[in-house]
Amino acid sequence: LKHRCSRFGSPIGTGPSCLCMVSVVPLSRFSQIGRSTESMIDFVVTDTAGSSGQVGGAVGEGGGQSVQSTISRYACRIMCERSAPYTARIYAAGFDSSKNIFLGERAAKWRTSDGLMDGLTTNGVLVMHPAGEFVSEPAPGVWREISVCGNVFALRETRSAQQRGKLVENESNTLQDGSLIDLCGATLLWRTPPGLRHTPTLKQLECLRQELNAARPQCPVGFNTLAFPSLAQREIVDKKQPWVYVNCGHVHGYHNWGYRKEKGECPMCRRVGPYVPLWLGCEGGLYLDAGPPTHAFCPCGHVCSEKTVAGWSQIPLPHGTHAFHAACPFCGTWLTGEQGHIKLIFQGPVD
């Protein structure tokens, strides 16, 4: 497994991005994921203590744990075949120091028809495979729950219910490009090398940022030139930072007149709504293509390609015990508005 975690978004937790990416390489056959910092866990996962408008969590390499974390200490394990095509399969729970599968006392357990034991983690390991090709026809599939033995079940009534869902016999635990793994507090995105070849690298993202700035977009009111900050300066609002009215998409420089309680009136079209700074999404693995950054998620203002915003806007991510919300993959903010995203309208040559 290769672990990548972006450093963008919430200030809480060891790795503050909403969605973290894991991708397959033929170097390791067996890896475990969980919030325990014991040596048996290869990828330590901590959840982010967000507001009601956030979902997801982050992957880190240790660090402090949430006091009331809902992620299992031994959440899941992923097995990769050593030979091509390096098929990867996911299983709930993991092995502890005594080489036994570790399940909490409240976890659902049962004996199968062939005499073996199977079970679910306390809050469940949910997986959603894309309905089509993730990069060509992004469409959400159906959320399922994975058992200790890798069997696929329909979701329980709630995340921690003792009664398991119905067995889904025609689906498997094989991960594919774009598969989402939810650990009840952290959401992982599985990417394959062929899928990642369609996404921009950090160098390409920097080139896209420079192209935006080279077009010298202007504030239509103050007539000052706007500029997206470098990826290294994210979260630091610069005086040249572009801001957007998320209900209409008109891009401006910052101004405080007409601004009140997270809502402002756009000077161009008079529409009232949130007025937020724009940030270029910096984790290439979350992109669906390497297209120009012309759209932004609402209401957070993360900028990426049209295909990326359209794809993620229709994916429901788990939140709490039984709720699902579409969210920005870069920061976890719940999406708002009719589409969850907006086309950016620049003043100047970019338009």
DSSP string, 104-169: -TTS-EEE-TTS-EEE--SS--EEE--SS-TTTS------EEE-TT--EEPPPSSTT-SS---B-T
Asked whether the beta carbons of 44 and 72 are under 8 A apart, the reply is no
Q: At residue 112, does pLDDT exceed 50?
A: yes
Choice between 20 and 330, residue whose per-residue pLDDT is larger? 330
Q: How far apart are CA 147 and CA 137, in angstroms?
A: 29
Is the backbone peptide bond immediately before 299 cis, with ω within 30 degrees of 0? yes
Amino acid at 315: I
Looking at 19-28, 43-52, 134-143, which range is the least confident one?
19-28
Identify the pLDDT of residue 178.
Answer: 94
pLDDT for 84 equals 83
Cis bond before residue 349 (omega within 30° of 0): no
How far, CA to CA in Å, does 265 sit from each of 228, 276, 341?
23, 12, 19
219 shares a domain with 73: no
**Whether residue 228 sits in one domain with residue 143:** no
Most confident of 51-65, 252-266, 337-351: 337-351
Side chain identity at 88, as an amino acid letter? A
Q: pTM of the full predicted structure?
A: 0.84
What token pair was written down for 75? 């959440």
pLDDT bucket at 13, cuts 50 / 70 / 90: very low
Tokens 């101004």 belong to which residue? 255
**Closest residue by Cα to residue 19 from 338, 306, 321, 304:** 304
Instruction: Indicate the number of domains in the chain.
Output: 2
| pLDDT tens figures, 274-295 | 889 999 998 999 999 999 999 9
Rounded average pLDDT over 191-207:
92
Could you tell me the CA-to-CA distances from 171 to 92, 174, 177 in Å, in that order?
16, 9, 16
Q: Are residues 96 and 173 in the same domain?
A: yes
Inside any domain, residue 86: yes
Do residues 36 and 181 both lie within one domain?
yes
- Closest to 31 in 3D by CA, of 75, 72, 71: 75
Least confident of 87-91, 136-140, 318-322: 318-322
The chain-wide mean pLDDT, for the chain, equals: 83
* Within a domain: 348: no
By the 10 Å C-beta count (0-12 exposed, 13-18 middle, 19+ buried), 171 is classed as middle
- What is the number of helices (H) and of strands (E) in the chain? 3, 28
**Domain's final residue, options 161, 192, 223:** 192
- Tell whether 300 and 158 lie within a shared domain: no
At residue 235, the pLDDT reads 67
Position 133 confidence tier, pLDDT thresholds 50, 70, 90: confident
Lowest mean pLDDT among 55-64, 151-160, 168-177: 55-64
Give me the domain span that covers residue 307. Answer: 202-343
Looking at 192, 217, 251, which one is the last position of a domain?
192
State whether 185 and 141 are in the same domain: yes
Residues 181, 208 share a domain = no
Q: What is the pLDDT of residue 265?
A: 86
Cα(40)–Cα(37) distance, integer angstroms? 8
Once rounded to an integer, what is the mean pLDDT over residues 322-340? 91
348 Rama sector, left if φ>0, alpha if ψ -120 to 50, beta otherwise: left
What tokens does 220 get?
A: 């239509």
327: left (phi over 0), alpha (psi -120 to 50) or beta: beta
- DSSP string computed for 211-244: HHHHT--B-TTT-PBP-PPPGGGTTS--TT--EE
Does 17 score more than 50 pLDDT?
no
Q: If DSSP codes are grouped into helix, strand and coil, which group holds residue 23?
A: strand
CB atoms within 10 A of CB 154: 14
DSSP character string of 60-91: ESS----TT--S-TT-EEEEE-SSTT--EEEE
Confidence of residue 19 (pLDDT cuts 50, 70, 90): low
Domain co-membership, 35 together with 175: yes
- Under the banding of pLDDT at 50, 70 and 90, the label for residue 171 is very high
Q: Which domain-ending residue is among 192, 221, 249?
A: 192
Same domain, 38 and 135: yes
Same domain (yes/no): 171, 245: no
Q: Judge whether 58 and 66 are in contact, CB under 8 Å.
A: no
Whether residue 167 sits in one domain with residue 18: yes
